């Protein structure tokens, strides 16, 4: 049996452009570079072709699918088909012990890949957006129909996965309830922080850049799930030492 930590071969499949500096993009570039640093050439990455170069990841450990351009309906079907075709090509010429997916909306490609190739897999960074985005962005009744299909696809993938993770207890509770899968199938793993990238800088420079120099005190919160992490406490309570 393969010792995954020492000799295992892992294929990571995602629909996130790791070169875009939004929340998912930053999360993904940190994860992808961390996995490559840990495993080297034993990890391979099937990801959308980046919008801009990513110098920390060698080209030889990446296979690029067509991008979906922010889920543009003109490009998204081509992206899904490209993921399927590229995965088939990779898995026909190289052995992988584990597949690792970050699911996107309407995860038809992961379902196709797992059904065809029968390789154990895990799911990374499930969230409420995965379940709610379609219904919120597309008008009824089409949005509701597509959201129900999306939910069914995600539920099937979670049910057959070794495990899936999410980044907060609130999201775990939501996903457990919505997907109705067996207990402990979805696990909570909080986001880590790369302190080489996220660290305190000059207060005066930050105030100037954000046009906040006129304020004596500034109370802010950076991150998600503020209610779980103290972000909803009032500034007055903090000053009183509550």
- Looking at the structure of the chain, the number of domains it has is 2
Provide the percentage of residues in the chain whose pLDDT is more than 90. 52
* Locus of tokens 């030889």: 60
Q: Residue 1 pLDDT > 50, yes or no?
A: no
pLDDT reported for residue 242: 44
Give the span between the Cα atoms of 110 and 108, in whole angstroms: 6
Q: Residue 213 pLDDT > 90, yes or no?
A: no
Of 162, 188, 214, the one marking the end of a domain is 188
pLDDT reported for residue 40: 93
Residues 179 and 213 grouped into a single domain: no
Task: Please indicate, yes or no, if residue 66 is contained in any of the structural domains.
Answer: yes
pLDDT band at 157 (very low <50, low <70, confident <90, very high): very high
Average pLDDT, integer, range 14-39:
86
Residues 130 and 230 grouped into a single domain: no
Residues 159 and 64 grouped into a single domain: yes
Q: Looking at 2-16, 31-45, 174-188, which range is the least confident one? A: 2-16
Residues 138 and 207 grouped into a single domain: no
Residue 187, token pair as written in the block: 């696990």
Give the span between the Cα atoms of 84 and 76, in whole angstroms: 13
Residues 48 and 134 grouped into a single domain: yes
Residues 14 and 130 grouped into a single domain: yes
How far is CA 89 from its chain centroid?
Answer: 24
Q: Looking at 32-41, 132-141, 156-165, which range is the least confident one? A: 132-141
CATH at 175: 3.40.50.2000
- Is the bond preceding residue 141 a cis peptide, omega within 30 degrees? yes
Q: Looking at 46-60, 95-109, 141-155, 210-224, which range is the least confident one? A: 210-224
User: pTM of the entire structure?
Assistant: 0.83
Task: Please indicate, yes or no, if residue 55 is contained in any of the structural domains.
Answer: yes
Residues 98 and 157 grouped into a single domain: yes
Q: Residue 109 is part of which domain span?
A: 10-188
pLDDT reported for residue 230: 63
Task: Please indicate, yes or no, if residue 193 is contained in any of the structural domains.
Answer: no
The number of residues in the chain equals: 242
Q: What are phi and psi of 160, to 5 degrees?
A: -95, 0
């Amino acid at each position: 049996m393969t010792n995954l930590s020492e000799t295992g071969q892992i294929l990571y499949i995602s629909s996130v452009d790791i070169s875009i500096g939004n929340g998912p993009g930053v999360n993904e570039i940190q994860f992808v570079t961390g996995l490559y640093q840990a495993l080297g050439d034993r990890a391979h990455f099937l990801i959308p072709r980046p919008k801009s170069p990513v110098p920390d990841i060698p080209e030889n450990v990446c296979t690029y699918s067509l991008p979906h351009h922010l889920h543009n309906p003109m490009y998204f079907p081509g992206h899904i088909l490209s993921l399927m075709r590229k995965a088939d090509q990779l898995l026909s010429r190289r052995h992988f012990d584990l597949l690792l997916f970050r699911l996107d909306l309407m995860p038809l490609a992961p379902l196709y890949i797992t059904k065809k190739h029968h390789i154990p897999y895990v799911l990374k960074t499930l969230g409420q957006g995965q379940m709610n985005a379609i219904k919120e962005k597309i008008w009824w009744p089409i949005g509701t129909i597509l959201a129900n299909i999306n939910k069914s696809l995600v539920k099937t993938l979670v049910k057959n996965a070794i495990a899936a993770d999410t980044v907060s207890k609130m999201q775990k509770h939501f996903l457990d309830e919505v997907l109705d899968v067996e207990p402990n199938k979805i696990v909570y793993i909080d986001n880590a922080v790369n302190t080489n990238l996220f660290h305190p800088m000059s207060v005066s420079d930050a105030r100037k850049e954000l046009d906040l120099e006129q304020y004596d005190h500034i109370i802010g919160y950076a991150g998600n799930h503020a209610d779980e992490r103290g972000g909803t406490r009032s500034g007055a309570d903090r000053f009183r030492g509550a």
